[in-house]
Structure 1
Amino acid sequence: MTMARRRLAFEGHNPTLGEVIKQSYVLAYRENVDPLVAALEAEKFNPTVLRPVYSEEEQTYSRNVRTFMNHHNAWLRAAEHDGFTLICEGDCVPCLRLASFPTFWPSDDPVAWGYLYQGSPRILALVGPEKYLRCHTSPLVAYVINARVAKVMCEWFDAEMAARDPKDYFSFDALLQWSVMGRGCHAFMPMKHYGEHGGRANPEHRAHGMARAGEHRADNLAGPLHFLPQYCDGSRRAYVFARVKERLYGLARLATNRWMVRTNVYPYGISDRLEMAAVGLKRLLF
């Protein structure tokens, strides 16, 4: 254990991602994911690229369902591992020194998992004395699960695939969290994004009337990135513009009361709303 990690343990801080993540999977089809793999290797996350081979029938499935199947492939593998597994889609761009970032979920919760990146994040509650951010978000660009959560996700996959026509468009990532939460699991997020969604919009989203879906970006990053996102086309100016634009979107979400979601599980009094609003402002301004 490094001196920095010894100090964190002595001070009672959360373990780092590098201490709890045992392996990682990169979900891809035909795209080049070499920069992402190199970044995960540099962070010592032991990455494996999962590229599906679809049957003739599976080729007729909607693009989103085929992505769903690739996530399921990663969940099956994660269910067989000890510790936590990091799962990244091919357009993820992680922050530098990601392995040194602290975990952001309660370590005593065996069914907690975490979104390293969140699209249009919403907060459900501040949990425990540490004020962990219990959240709702949709994109599965980068997230961390343990074996128990992975098994629950696999059960949900089986139920959904049995109930749906796989040729139909199915926004599985928007439904996943509520469904897995309904099975007893709890999702959390860090104060700032631990990475960026570097890809471009999925045309299937737009074809089904979801105007900005797929164009989501991080509203505030926890640190510099390993490499420029694809959407920048190599332009540092485009990257800076995206950072400013997404910060403004985040502030607009907070100002229009889309940052908090009321549930029947947690208290939602005036003091709770004020505290959650203060956290929402803090994560965008500092």
Structure 2
Amino acid sequence: MDTKKVWLVTGASKGLGLTLVKKLLNNDYPVAATSRDLNTLKNAVGNHNGFLPLKVDLMSEESVANSISQVIETFGHLDVVVNNAGYGQNGTLEEISDEEARLNFDVNVFGLLNVIRKSMPQLRSQKSGHIFNIASVAGVVGNFPGFGIYCATKFAVAGLTEALSVEARPFGIHTTLVYPGYFRTEFLSDDSFKLASNRMDVYKEARESERLHKEEIAGNQLGNPEKAAEVLITMAESKNPALHLFLGSDAYGMAKQKTETLESALEANKELSHSTDFKN
């Protein structure tokens, strides 16, 4: 009897999502994968037994619900959900338009929330499952000039995932919040890394950060997506999977520095913090 877990991976036509799907299929896992463009997804993955490609608009509850139903009809159950779809939006908070900011939240946060909302009934009924929400180290560290909105979307993913972990736990459902650092994928390509339409030269640090990401970091990222995919599979098979998972030594280092900064701020202002309590 086949006991392989059934996976659903969103945003799977490129990057980490595509790498994960291919590795899962090569290891004989049944996989459903989503993309806005079905032909691109099919061409990228190729022909495999146990593969269900799905064209899904993650911002449409109906489209997401239909895709979950197709997964259940095809495989009989759903075990691992990977919310991977998303894109980077560059631009300082003054530069970025309301439309650009809202679209980044729609894709990175509300699309992910739709998948959670529509997959939970199946996972609850099974009393088992595992949800991976792919955030970013930018969901812990926000001091990247020109990345404020993108960081805000990933901070939002971190917050809702922590809440999800305690909400889902009584039903036997595991939750893992993934914070990748820089991985050598197409994330910094024009299709996945969008620049604000109203860029202002006065923001010199943001323009330099933009240039650095486009001209020097792209193609030279430290992280290996093949190894990241292996870690996700290992975590999904673990009996006690982590809630917080940092991928890459760069992500580890930035998060470590942030925790040290917070610890220092806590202690430096401890007296002021305590001074605001009502005293008995």
TM-score (norm 2): 0.33
What TM-score do the two structures reach when normalised by structure 1?
0.32
User: Computing the radius of gyration over CA atoms, which structure comes out larger, 1 or 2?
Assistant: 2
